[in-house]
Amino acid sequence: MEINEKHLIEKALKGEQGAFARLLGLYWVDVYTFLSSKNICDEDAEDLCIETFSKAFEKLSTYDHRYVFKTWLLYIARNNYVDFMRRNAHMFSLFSEKILEDLEYEHEMVGDETPESRMIERQSLEQVRQSLERLSPRYREVMRLHYIEELSINEISEKLNISSSNVKVILMRARKMLYRDVE
């Protein structure tokens, strides 16, 4: 059965949910693959993919049928990715430097340093730093706000303009990623 993309778009413009779902199903993999090819974690690629479709469906009336729909979606996805990177570029250095300072301070307070313990500590600090680098900027920012600035879930939600449940999910995923890396 050949898919009539133009027909689906017309139905979606009339508000038919089935047409939206069909368009999403047809192009999800393409948009997700494009975003995940960027240097971001799977969760951020998924979030940006959802944001892309949301914006596309919101602005569907502006779509020009002379162009390929998939190209239009990928253009929106690219713009979302660029915006995401701009919003989050500053986050890593603040967060990781503070955590590393805290870890070094805790180690100094314990004492009992031997050459072996110093070497193990340096390796551990490097492993934590590398794990933090692998987190997406959004995850690092939420972790920084929660663990360094000691903001509550609701305060982070207000500050970043995202839902409290989204903050909880981000914290859970980030902790899982860090735990998996440090194991």
The residue from 88, 103, 134 where one domain ends is 88
Which range of residues forms the domain containing residue 137? 91-182
| Higher pLDDT among residues 19 and 183, named by residue | 19
Number of domains in the chain: 2
36-63 pLDDT, tens digit per residue, is 887 677 788 888 999 999 899 999 999 9
pLDDT digits (tens, 9 = 90+) for 115-149: 655 565 566 566 666 777 778 888 888 887 887 77
Q: What angle do CA 39, 44, 50 make, to 5 degrees?
A: 125
pTM, entire model: 0.52
Q: Which of 42, 57, 88 corresponds to the end of one domain?
A: 88
Residues 78 and 105 in one domain: no
pLDDT for position 93: 47
What average pLDDT does range 14-43 have in this prediction? 87
Instruction: Decide which of 56, 71, 88 is a domain's last residue.
Output: 88
Task: Tell whether 124 and 143 lie within a shared domain.
Answer: yes
Residues 99 and 161 occupy one common structural domain:
yes
- 3-state DSSP call for residue 183? coil
Q: Compute the distance between CA of residue 81 and CA of residue 145 in angstroms, rounded to an integer.
A: 22
